[in-house]
């Protein structure tokens, strides 16, 4: 009797069938986003949560936009998701996505000591858009994002996690891998190649390098 074949990794998602790409990171993620942002597809809205102190007036969207040449905005309540724009959660607010493709801001209690919380964004994206979500968890020092990525996976969305051995703070990607069984576990260079391939051929049927879950 032949041994069963190992499960095949899911192919790249069809870019034309995605409503949003959501990204979460914490410690060390500024440098990662600076490298990753130029490769992100322009055909799909991108929404990012980075843990920042609420009392710190840091124009993260502006700084990253200037350094990467990509259009960036700090998300506002009821503002629309816009393709080609990378939207950032404002410090001190949870950021949620609504099925009407608009944002909602919340001052509910912090999740994993964080507001904005990656889990809150990811779970709202999974509820609003189901399998039409691509979620990415980057470097970070707590487990925020793990359950949110699990929600995206459970809704049929596509999940990517930074390889922990390439992360400045590996705890967050390790927690996400354990909770969500992601479709790809990639270094930042491999993520760049993944998104470049996705944008070059939206209906591509094979994945870019890296470790497959």
| Catalytic machinery residues | 26, 51, 144
| CA dist., res. 157 & res. 135, Å (int) | 7
Q: How far is CA 28 from CA 25, 55, 139, 170, in A?
A: 8, 19, 6, 10
Q: What angle do CA 171, 172, 176 make, to 5 degrees?
A: 115
3 exposure class (CB count in 10 Å sphere: 0-12, 13-18, 19+): exposed
| Cis peptide, bond prior to residue 96, ω within 30 of zero | no
Dihedral-angle region of residue 179 (phi above 0 means left; psi in -120 to 50 means alpha; beta otherwise): alpha
Q: Show the beta-strand stretches assigned E in the chain.
A: 20-25, 46-50, 72-74, 86-88, 94-98, 102-106, 133-137, 158-162, 184-186, 211-212
CB 196 within 8 A of CB 172: no
């Amino acid at each position: 009797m032949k041994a069963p074949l190992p499960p095949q990794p899911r192919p790249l998602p069809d870019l034309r069938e995605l409503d949003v790409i959501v990204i979460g990171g914490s410690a060390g993620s500024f440098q990662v986003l600076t490298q990753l942002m130029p490769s992100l597809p322009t055909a799909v809205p991108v929404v990012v949560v980075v843990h920042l102190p609420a009392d710190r007036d840091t124009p993260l969207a502006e700084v990253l936009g200037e350094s990467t040449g990509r259009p960036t905005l700090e998300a506002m309540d009821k503002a629309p998701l816009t393709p080609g724009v990378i939207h950032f959660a404002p410090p001190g607010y949870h950021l949620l996505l609504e099925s009407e493709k608009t944002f909602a801001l919340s001052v509910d209690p912090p999740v994993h000591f964080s507001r904005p919380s990656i889990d809150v964004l990811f779970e709202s994206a999974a509820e609003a858009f189901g399998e039409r979500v691509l979620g990415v968890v980057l470097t970070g020092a707590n487990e925020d994002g793990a359950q949110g990525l699990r929600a995206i996976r459970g809704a049929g969305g596509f999940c990517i996690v930074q390889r922990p051995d390439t992360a400045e703070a590996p705890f967050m990607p390790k927690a996400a891998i354990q909770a969500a069984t992601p479709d790809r576990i990639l270094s930042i260079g491999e993520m760049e190649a993944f998104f470049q391939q996705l944008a070059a051929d939206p209906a591509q049927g094979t994945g870019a390098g890296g470790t497959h879950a």
